[in-house]
Structure formats: structure tokens, C-alpha cells
Amino acid sequence: MILRILRFDSELDQASYYQEYDLPISSEDRFTVMDALNYIFNNLDSSLSFFSHSVCNHGICGRCLMIVDGKPSLACTHILGGEKVVIEPKKGTVIRDLVVK
């Protein structure tokens, strides 16, 4: 599965850009967006930033909201399907990648 993620670092970048990550997972794995982002952070690219510091992982706190294929979704409850998924930050001031304040 390909994750196409909009990236931006307020300290380093002039403009945002998309980066694609190829993950060895399919729909049957029932990965949530959060699982996939953790997979990237742990195995592929630990510079990718997403809400990670106070995560309930069960749709309780509502803080991991992001835009998945154009729709607002909680990363921890949205189950990934299809071949390619586009992930973008929610509205607001982007601090870094998918982290918005």
C-alpha cells in the first residue's frame, strides 16, 4: 500500500510537498492510519511527524484528526483500504507534517 503524505517543517521548509511511502501491508491487515504512521516512524522515516505524544488510540481524545483521502478522520480509528491513500493535515497552522496547532 502506498501512503502519500503532505509534509512541511515550519523551521526548515519554504513550502509543503508530498512524499510517498511504500508499506508492505494490504487491506486485510486492517491497519489504522495511526498503525501505518507508526510503522513509517519505526521502520522507514523517523522524521515524519504526526500527533504522537498523548495518544489514546481508541477514538477517545479526538486529537489525531487528519484528512484521509479528502475526508476528516481520526488516525487511530480509520482503517486503511485500497492501494494508495493520501494523508494531509487538518485545517490550522501546520507545525510540522501532520501536526497542526
Partner 1 sequence: MPYQNVKQLRTDVLIVGGGGAGITAAISSAKNGADVLIASKGKVGNSGNTIMIGGSYAMDGESAYHDYGIKEADPKLTKKVLFDSIINDGFHISDQNLVEQFVEESPWIVNEVRLWAEKAGQKFKFGKPATWAMSGRAMGRALYQGLIDSDNIDFLEDVMVVELIKKNDTIIGAIAIDIYSGEMIEINSKSVVLGTGGFQPFSLKNTNSDMTGDGIAMAFRAGAKVADMEFLLFLLTALEPNEIKGSIMPVYFTFFDFKYKVTDRDGNEVVIPPELKAIEGKSELCKLIDLYYYGKVVSEGKGTENDGVYFDFSDSTDEEINSMFEGLMDYYSNFYKKGYYHADSVETYRDIILKNRRIKVSMGNEYTLGGIVINEKMETSLKGLYAAGECTSGTFGANRVADAVVEMMVQGYRAGVTAAEYAKGATFKENREMSKKIVETYLSYFDNSGGISAAIANIELENISDKAIHFLRNENDLNNAIIAYEKLEEKLKSVSLHSKSKAYNFEWISAIQAKNRLQCAKLAAIMAKERKESRGLHLRSDFPMVDNERYLIRQMAELLEGQIVITSRSPIVTSYDLPIGQQKDYFSYILEHEMGLENLLYNEQGESV
What residues make contact with partner 1 under the rule CB under 8 A?
A: 9-12, 29-32, 35, 41-43, 45-47, 49-50, 52-63, 74, 76-77, 79, 95-97, 99, 101
CA-CA distance, 44 to 28, in Å (whole number)? 21
**Total residues found in the chain within this entry:** 101
Strand partners, 22: 2
Q: Measure CA 77 to chain center.
A: 12
CB of 28 to partner 1, least distance (A): 10
Report how far residue 18's alpha carbon sits from residue 33's, in angstroms, rounded to the nearest whole number.
Answer: 17
CB of 26 to partner 1, least distance (A): 12
Closest to partner 1 by CB, 4 or 41 = 41
Stated as kind and residue range, the H or E segment containing 85 is strand 84-88
- Compare residues 2 and 61 and give the one whose CB is closer to partner 1: 61
Select 20 or 29, whichever has its Cβ closest to partner 1: 29
Minimum Å gap between C-beta 98 and partner 1 is: 9
